[in-house]
Amino acid sequence: MNKGTLRTTLGVVLLAMSAMPLWGEDSKQPSADGLESADALEGGNDLLGDLDSLEGGEEEPAAIARAVTQADDGIECAGKGKGVCIEKATGLPLRVLPRPFSALHATPDAGDDSITQANLPAFHPWYVFERKDLDLSDPAEARGWYRVGRDRDKASGWLRARDAFEWRQALLVSYTHPGDPGEGRHPVLLFSDPARPVDLVEAGDGGETAMALYQQIDQGKIPKDVVSMEPKRFVDISKTFYLLPILRFKTFEVEGEQLRLLQIAAAVPKARGADTLANEDYAGQARAGRDSGSRQRIEKIRVDVVFVIDTTRSMQPYIDLTRDAMRGLIDRLRGKLNERVRFGLIGYRDSLKAVPKLEYVTRNFTPKLVDAKTLVERLDKDARATSVGSHDYQEEGFAGIQTALASAWREDALRFIVWIGDASSHPKGHPQNTTGMGAEELLRRAEDQQVHVIALHLRDPRAAKDFPLGEAQMRTLSRVRGSEGDSAYLAVDAFHKQDFAKAVDTFAGMIEHNISAALAEAGKDAKGGLLQAAKAGEKQGDKVEEAATQAFGKAWKAALIEYLGQDARPPKDIVAWVLDRDLVDPTMRALDVRLLITRTQLSSLVQALDRVIEALMKSEASQAQFFQALQAVAGQAMKQPEHLGEAQRLVDTGLLPAFIQSLPYKSDILTLTEERYASMTADQRAQLQWSLLAKLQQYRDINEQVDQWQRLNETDSDAEMVYPLNIDYLP
């Protein structure tokens, strides 16, 4: 593509931090002229997960490089501690985040005798009241001081510029699951020159130039302008917490794909020291193959498998066949293998409000996960199909998945759900949907918990009308992490019970085979080949067995890549330029957007949305105007309830938490007006309510995931713990 076709556009701000070292020869301080700072995030929040909300004009790639060396950063300070510094474009206060091991000084003096507080809590925000002698022209040796305070009422002391990041919004990016080594994306490269990654994707050589850079790195060489690299192994932010704030960005188009050039800062709480490719200790572990891991990690491998089975009256033959397959697995899991694998069993039926005699919506037959022998006993004695008919063909499969996600999973075990059913689940908003959630919400929850779903769809030809919805739901929930729309989904004709038996028996055999293959590779120092070893179990000549092997194999590989990635560490103390897409294949997304949220903030968001939902329901029931209904349900909780009646949009009411109101993003609920609400159809209003109810359920689920909340500092209270919330969760 001709470089003149490159389009740069404006529009999103994520997070601004600007005082980290930029490692590279000829690096200069980026400017806001021509590059957006992290304050312009605009667009639907359904698009932000893949950074697709940037729009703007057209510019040559060379101009991008020039633009980062010019102009004012748009911050205005009254000076002498008379008030907090404000970003002129947004009116938001400027804050900084102290780096690890930084200190607060009584005066802008670097001497030890001026220190009033040493080793400040890392990454906790301080308001900026003054910027004195600030010089960021050489980010590696930033000079000057910030006068700061813990609240916006008064300043408490001074921070050195080299010890702090400027912070505009608590939005981060995280690395996506990279997928299979042969088919997934390549690691993110961090560049000192912003024009370099643009030139690579504009080269028009099918990614050959970019591939040459990876080959050099594999050979231990450092390509020109490449500062560092994301490890080849997957670094899961929920397991190994890190921060990747965006400082500047540009959006451009290549072959019809919208790409984003981002200047990011890389940080790891409680750690310090630049991880460049010149640091062989870092570079060596970053080059380690995606399917390699330490012997110690592989030798500890464990697997948890939870079966989620429809137990309505048509399902008894399939429950029995699942039991028989598990019985055949018992002999294969002898000795130490038996200790490595645990099973769960969830039964689901339908809403008891519709059919009370069904006895339960879901039942967990394994409050603690069990061995294969005990699972067979539970399948034989407890998980019996009911003789009572349901109200309609659909069942409550989503409720079964939700219950399974709350299983007593073991720490660091590979986690799988095997969903077996013959009908679709009641969609979000259906009167018999007991979870208030749909497939997308449950998928996001499964991803956050590192749970991989394998779906076995029993298709009864007499219910062909239900096939499309059931398949869509099952494919969504069994989406393979790190793939482009691939799913661990298998459809079997319900009248061909022998095919179902083959599929379940294949799943069972693959569990034993893959663990044994992994342990065999561990004996070879686990230098690679773990994923290839898993392929050895593929059976040839039988379409059902081959399809079942492929479905389980896809989920296994994605889970194993996550597990092995726990031996990797992300780069830190780097400021550099990256693309949000794969350099070799720009159709593949490399970064997700997240919001760093505290427990207190999440609680305040839940309370606010509760009131919004109550107002929506009250307005619908009484035919009252929405804002009048909102004032009625929320007025007592506000200092100035009259603002509700004066507001033009929901975001202007003051009801929502301050951190949401200040976030530079748009959504249907934040921009809701009285006029727009009045123009909605009954179905549109119902959809809005269902969407918010699903968000609330997601927030409550997240709050209960104790092991995924992070303490940035050891002294943090539970209320101060943070969670990297995917942007899709925002209302």
In terms of average pLDDT, the best of 101-105, 229-233, 299-303 is: 229-233
Q: Single out the residue of 14, 100, 9 nearest to residue 55, CA to CA.
A: 9
Q: Single out the residue of 558, 609, 581, 446 nearest to residue 50, CA to CA.
A: 581
**169 vs 659: CA distance, rounded Å:** 9
Q: Are 652 and 629 in contact (CB under 8 A)?
A: no
Q: Coil, helix or strand for 180?
A: coil
Dihedrals phi, psi of 362, to nearest 5 degrees: -135, 155
In percent, the amount of the chain with pLDDT more than 90 equals 40
pLDDT of residue 635: 54
Q: CA-CA distances (angstroms) from residue 598 to 182, 185, 719, 723?
A: 38, 32, 7, 6
**215 vs 19: CA distance, rounded Å:** 32
**586 vs 197: CA distance, rounded Å:** 11
Ranges of beta strands (E only) in 99-229 are: 104-105, 115-117, 126-135, 143-149, 157-160, 164-167, 171-175, 189-191, 226-229
**711 vs 699: CA distance, rounded Å:** 19
Chain segment 267-299, per-residue pLDDT in tens? 887 777 889 999 999 999 999 998 887 888 888
Chain segment 218-227, per-residue pLDDT in tens? 999 999 999 9
Strand order in the sheet with 246-254: 36-37, 246-254, 257-266, 574-579, 189-191, 226-229
**667 vs 688: CA distance, rounded Å:** 12
Helix (H) or strand (E) run with residue 342 in it: strand 341-348
pLDDT at 9 over 70: no
pLDDT of residue 351: 85
The residue written with tokens 């018992």 in the block is 330
pLDDT at 528 over 60: no
Beta strands 126-135 and 86-87, pairing class: unpaired
Beta strands 451-459 and 414-421, pairing class: parallel
pLDDT of residue 294: 81
pLDDT at 35 over 60: no
pLDDT at 30 over 90: no
Q: Are 581 and 588 in contact (CB under 8 A)?
A: yes
pLDDT at 72 over 60: no
CA angle 711, 142, 231 (to 5 degrees): 50
**Mean pLDDT along residues 562-586:** 91
**378 vs 274: CA distance, rounded Å:** 53
Helix (H) or strand (E) run with residue 423 in it: none
* Residues forming a β-bridge with 491: 457
Q: Write down the pTM of the prediction.
A: 0.81
**Mean pLDDT along residues 605-621:** 81
pLDDT at 565 over 70: yes
What angle in degrees, to the nearest 10, is found between the helix axes of 682-704 and 439-448? 20
Q: CA-CA distances (angstroms) from residue 48 to 41, 171, 272, 577?
A: 9, 11, 30, 19
Chain segment 314-364, per-residue pLDDT in tens? 899 999 999 999 988 888 887 778 889 999 999 999 988 888 888 899 999
* Residues forming a β-bridge with 191: 226, 577
Neighbours of 556 (CB within 10 A): 28
Chain segment 118-157, per-residue pLDDT in tens? 988 766 778 899 999 998 777 557 889 999 998 778 899 9
How far is C-alpha 669 from the chain's CA centre?
Answer: 22
**265 vs 339: CA distance, rounded Å:** 43
Q: Are 254 and 261 in contact (CB under 8 A)?
A: no
pLDDT of residue 480: 95
Q: Are 100 and 271 in contact (CB under 8 A)?
A: yes
Task: Look up residue 112 and give its DSSP letter.
Answer: G
pLDDT at 368 over 50: yes
3-state secondary structure labels for all residues of 251-304: EEEECCEEEEEEEEEEECCCCCCCCCCCCHHHHHHHHCCCCCCCHHHHHCCCEE
Beta strands 75-76 and 86-87, pairing class: antiparallel
**215 vs 210: CA distance, rounded Å:** 9
pLDDT of residue 389: 76
Q: Count of H helices and E strands in the chain? A: 20, 24
The overall average pLDDT reported for the chain is: 80
Task: Output 180 or 21, whichever has higher pLDDT.
Answer: 180
Q: Are 165 and 245 in contact (CB under 8 A)?
A: yes
Q: Are 192 and 22 in contact (CB under 8 A)?
A: yes
Both tokens assigned to 149: 């305070």
**119 vs 111: CA distance, rounded Å:** 15
The full length of the chain comes to 731
How far is C-alpha 679 from the chain's CA centre?
Answer: 34
* Residues forming a β-bridge with 489: 455
Both tokens assigned to 161: 């510029």
Q: Which residues contact residue 593 at a Cβ distance below 8 angstroms, ignoring those fewer than 6 apart?
A: 14, 48, 49, 50, 51, 171, 172, 173, 726, 727
